[in-house]
């Protein structure tokens, strides 16, 4: 079921994806909805410039939309983690978004990916160790061979750092309220990502949306 929902470009890019996804036994109660699980993977591979890797979907059902850290445009109460991202976005590159939907960034080449793509409503990290991590590791291995910059936020994401050349790597504290004050604020990941893209000969991300 999962493999059939994975965009064909990724089925081809990761020949082992069918086997990896078939090993994931998804609980019946899950978010985001099935049609959004691979929303991030709709970005054409050749368009990917920056990977932002997080942990797992927001546990609040109306927030989870298949893009890491993003929330639908009509959500009035922006998740606290996203508020912290916006605070750093403002301090770093002067961007003040009007809503929590990060789709415009996806359209500009930002691959908004979580280490685990589903969870149980109202429970964070409920679907860890059911197989997602192995699949996402394969995704990162594939992308690490391309001119892409990686921003790894939080312990779970940082576990994949050894797969990535240091020249393309930005490691940071997770932006959640529990950890943001331990080094996320002031880290300037967005401008640093553009600096690393320049060294790779890749055009910068326009972070304004």
Taking only the tens place, the pLDDT of each residue in 115-160 is 999 999 999 999 999 999 999 999 999 999 999 999 999 999 999 9
Task: Please give the structure tokens belonging to residue 129.
Answer: 């160790």
Residue in 5, 79, 94 with CA at minimum distance from that of residue 42: 5
Q: Please give the pLDDT value at position 101.
A: 98
Q: Is the pLDDT of residue 191 over 90?
A: yes
Residue 205 domain-assigned?
no
User: Would strands 169-172 and 149-153 be described as parallel, antiparallel, or unpaired?
Assistant: parallel
Task: Please give the structure tokens belonging to residue 22.
Answer: 């078939």
Residue 54 domain-assigned?
yes
**Active-site residue numbers?**
56
CB atoms near residue 156 (< 10 Å): 20
Q: Is the pLDDT of residue 1 over 90?
A: no
Per-residue pLDDT reduced to its tens digit, 72-113: 999 999 999 999 999 999 999 999 999 999 999 999 999 999
Tell me if 14 sits within 8 A of 138, measured CB to CB: yes
CA 138 → CA 24, 131, 142, distances in Å?
14, 11, 6
Backbone angles phi, psi at 190, to 5 degrees: -75, -45
Residue 209 domain-assigned?
no
Q: If phi over 0 gives left and psi between -120 and 50 gives alpha, with beta otherwise, what is residue 109?
A: left
Distance CA 46, CA 158 (A): 24
CA 190 from centroid of its chain's CA atoms: 14
User: Would strands 110-114 and 50-54 be described as parallel, antiparallel, or unpaired?
Assistant: parallel
Residue 56 domain-assigned?
yes
Q: In the chain, helix, strand, coil percent, each to 5?
A: 40, 10, 50
Residue span of the structural domain in which 176 resides: 2-199
Per-residue pLDDT reduced to its tens digit, 2-59: 999 999 999 999 999 999 999 999 999 999 999 999 999 999 999 999 999 999 999 9
Residue with tokens 């960034």: 105
Domains: count for the chain: 1
205 falls in which pLDDT band (50, 70, 90)?
very high
Residue 208 domain-assigned?
no
What is the length of the chain?
Answer: 209
CATH number of the structural domain spanning residue 46:
3.40.470.10
Q: Please give the pLDDT value at position 176.
A: 96
Distance CA 107, CA 158 (A): 25
Residue 53 domain-assigned?
yes
Q: Please give the pLDDT value at position 195.
A: 98
């Amino acid at each position: 079921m999962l493999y059939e929902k994975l965009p064909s470009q990724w089925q081809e890019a990761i020949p082992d994806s069918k086997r990896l996804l078939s090993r994931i036994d998804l609980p019946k109660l899950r978010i985001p909805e099935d049609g959004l699980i691979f929303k991030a993977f709709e970005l054409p591979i050749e368009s990917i410039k920056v990977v932002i890797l997080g942990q797992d979907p927001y546990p609040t059902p109306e927030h989870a939309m298949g893009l890491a850290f993003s929330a639908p445009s009509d959500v009035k109460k922006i998740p606290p983690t996203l508020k912290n991202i916006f605070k750093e976005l403002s301090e770093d590159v002067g961007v003040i978004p009007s809503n929590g939907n990060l789709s415009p960034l996806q359209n500009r080449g930002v691959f908004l990916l979580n280490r685990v793509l589903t969870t149980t409503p109202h429970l964070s990290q409920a679907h860890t160790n059911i197989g997602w991590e192995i699949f996402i590791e394969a995704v990162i291995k594939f992308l690490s061979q391309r001119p892409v910059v990686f921003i790894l936020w939080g312990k779970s994401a940082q576990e994949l750092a050894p797969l990535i050349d240091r020249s393309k790597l930005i490691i940071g504290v997770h932006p959640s309220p529990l950890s943001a004050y331990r080094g996320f604020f002031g880290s300037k990941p967005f401008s640093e990502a553009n600096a690393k893209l320049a060294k790779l000969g890749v055009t910068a991300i326009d972070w304004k949306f």
